Amino acid sequence: KIRVKVAIENQPCVMEVDSGSSLSMVSWKTFKQLIPAIRRQDLSPQRIILKDYQGNRIPVVGSSQVQVSFKNRIASLPLTVVDRDQPSLLGLQLFAPLGIEVAGVHRAESNDWEESLVQEFQDVFSDELGKYKGTPILFNLNPEVAPIRLKPRRVPFALKPKIDEQLDKLIAQGVLEPTDHARWETPIVTPIKPDGLLRICGDYRATLNHALQQSAYPVPVVQHLLHSLGGGKIFAKLDLAQVYQQLPVDAETAEAQTIVTHRGAFKCNRLQFGVSVAPGIFQSLMERLLQGIKGIVPYFDDVLIAAPNRDILEKHLRMVLKKFKDAGLKVKKNKCQLCTERVEFLGYLLDSQGIHPTDNKLKAIKNAPTPKNRTDLQAFLGLINFYNIFLPQKATVAEPLHRLLDKSATWVWGLREERAFQQVKDLLTSDAVLMQYNETLPLTITCDTSPFGVGAILSHVLPNGNEAPIAFFSRTLSKAERNYSQLDKEVLAVVSAVKRFHEYVYGRAFTIVTDHKPLLGIIAGDKPTPYILSPRMTRWSEFLAAYNYLLQHRPGKAISNADALSHSPLPEAIDDPAPTLTTLQIETLHSPPLTARDIAIETKRDPVLARVLSWVERGWPADQIHDNFAPFKNRQTELFSQRGCVLWGDRVVVPERLQQTVLKVLHEGHPGIVRMKALARSYVWWPGIDKQIAAWLGDLVFAKNFSGNPLWVPATITQPTGPRSYRLQTNDGRAWKRHIDQL
């Protein structure tokens, strides 16, 4: 028996090669292990009769289109699922797409021309940062906009080593170069990536982007693909690594991109992420570089290659890689597909027949759960009503559902209602309901969140003002996300939607619609990033900075379509885009004087902080609040919760009963008042902390003793003698004069 190890939907599966079978099949038990969420009703009916070599009939459950990968080959192929235990069989239908050939009797091997191609162009597939050999990038700055120089932002002590490490790396790569000063100086933001490393980015929304002319370079659109691909039947897709930082810039542009840090200023010698014109510049360069090669569609950092057969595909792929080699560009090997019969591109599935929607494009509508009560049904019908102009039969088909909402109706969900529910979903999932992407029409992403899900709809704004949907999106919240504050959930909905619709909105202007008004002061596309944000918010803000968008507020009733998606999310959770960080820095000590649990317990007991914690997690009241809450109300967009504690940016908000304990810890080592305040600002906060530190030191200080023991003597400040010096009296009556650094 010949066995090969393939991956089905990214899960390993050992299959026996059966060259006598035209079908590939797995048992239902194996298929369920590969895709745990699959249900029998999700399979497509397959009207065939299968028998084994003894003539016994094999019951067929159905078929499913799955992604199968083998070595460097990836293909979307049909798989037959049978209802009995048996080995998984690899039939002839998978041989060609996966490049498998049976050699002799005991060997199965793949065509290795892809591996040979990788070896031939090792420098293109290497892990080093590429450097474009053409003319450096030059920004066209508006001369009427004066250069902007902002001060560097303070860096918490605990983050300095990590920031220094990344600065050193970028300097070694030639991306950054130290400089004394520049006309343009942009502070950095330091979001934390999922792998725990910091990423250094300039907040160019507050500086350089104001002087840049928006690029009018056209973005490739789906309607042009069939003509561009020339009837391709086999495809390859290349993914360029660190796209913008492969492009050098001229001296003036490097100065304009200058960032300022705690270590001083650095010129940016490569094109930077967050610069508003970067997408148009890169797209223009790619199209110029690859012009003349048939069947090539460059789309920002992706390049799609189509050909009528494998030989021509290899020829064109070699031409593209040669262009990249000559230009000094590099690709990410692990994200490239070098030979496949089907490929996903811009939210569509491309194959020899043309362009199709992907299987999951309308998943949010097709798999919407059956309503369990009136509230669920109202949410679903709110979604349907938004698409009324696309559904001429909607009033008739959905009539049984509307009757359930009558005041006198009793909730009974029977066969009639279930049939209407499924028929309405069938109307929504037909091609007629979704408008094709059009680069000339404005784009809108409407977002909303619920306690258990986020939802969004990508739409075009038609000339008559109506919105026509292009794609839908919804997903459930992970366990960690369900503990987010309401504000964080609202921003998560925006970030998740933009990430999902990246292929549509990246590189062009669009509008994000939300029903949560506080977002206008945090992630508005035309305003700088707020000075103090939680680490999660900082990362999200940096992510959104790469997009050219405006944020618009609409009341919740006006976005019932997105609200329905968030209240009927698919049972799907993705990796947290901003994982929980060790923000409670005090717990990094081996024997901490306070733990997160201590602070959480006292937070619940504190009459002010307990109420603040509740508002952070569930939303702030619109009514007037007591003066005790004013300092927190003023910072409501900068507060978040973690493990039952309230945090302001990176700083833990300390309950009143623990404040004296924290002050004693801060004064260990006897720092001066300035140093003690600086230390506090890196870790903790509460209303009036600066005054408390000053008063605390005024009541009791330890002055340096220049002769005799002990080295530090308790004393009381009597009066200042200068801006940084004081007269004080020791406990034994001696009068001393000391500089602040000697206290």
Q: pLDDT band for 586, please (50, 70, 90 cuts).
A: very low
Q: Where are the alpha helices (DSSP H) in 230-355?
A: 251-256, 278-290, 310-327
Q: What is the mean pLDDT of the chain?
A: 79
| Over residues 147-157, mean pLDDT | 88
Q: Is the pTM higher than 0.85?
A: no
pLDDT at 592 over 60: yes
| Phi-psi map region of 85: left, alpha, beta (phi>0 left; psi -120 to 50 alpha) | beta
| Over residues 518-539, mean pLDDT | 74
Coil vs helix vs strand at 141:
strand
Q: pLDDT band for 226, please (50, 70, 90 cuts).
A: very low
How far are the Cα atoms of 10, 282, 320, 335, 581 from residue 240, in angstroms, in the given order? 22, 11, 12, 9, 30
Domain ranges of the chain: 3-98, 157-357, 358-581, 585-694, 699-739
Q: What is the dihedral of CA 672, 673, 674, 679, to 10 degrees?
A: 90
CATH level 3 topology of 3-98: Cathepsin D, subunit A; domain 1 (2.40.70)
Element (H, E) at 693: helix 689-699
Query: What is the model's pLDDT at position 164?
Result: 92
Query: What is the model's pLDDT at position 460?
Result: 86
Q: What radius of gyration, in Å, describes the C-alpha atoms of the chain?
A: 31
Question: Per residue in 312-358, pLDDT tens?
Answer: 888 999 999 999 999 999 998 878 888 887 787 766 667 765 556 55
| Over residues 403-420, mean pLDDT | 86
Contact 563, 455 (CB under 8 A): yes
**pLDDT above 90 as % of the chain:** 16
What's the angle, vertex CA 332, arms to CA 330 and CA 338, rounded to 5?
100
Q: pLDDT band for 246, please (50, 70, 90 cuts).
A: very high
Amino acid in position 318? R
DSSP letter at 341 equals S
How far are the Cα atoms of 401, 411, 564 from residue 371, in angstroms, in the given order? 10, 11, 11
Give the homologous superfamily in CATH for domain 157-357.
Answer: Reverse transcriptase/Diguanylate cyclase domain (3.30.70.270)
The CATH-assigned architecture of domain 585-694 is: Orthogonal Bundle (1.10)
CATH of 358-581, one of 3.30.420.10, 3.30.420.40, 3.20.20.450, 3.90.79.10: 3.30.420.10
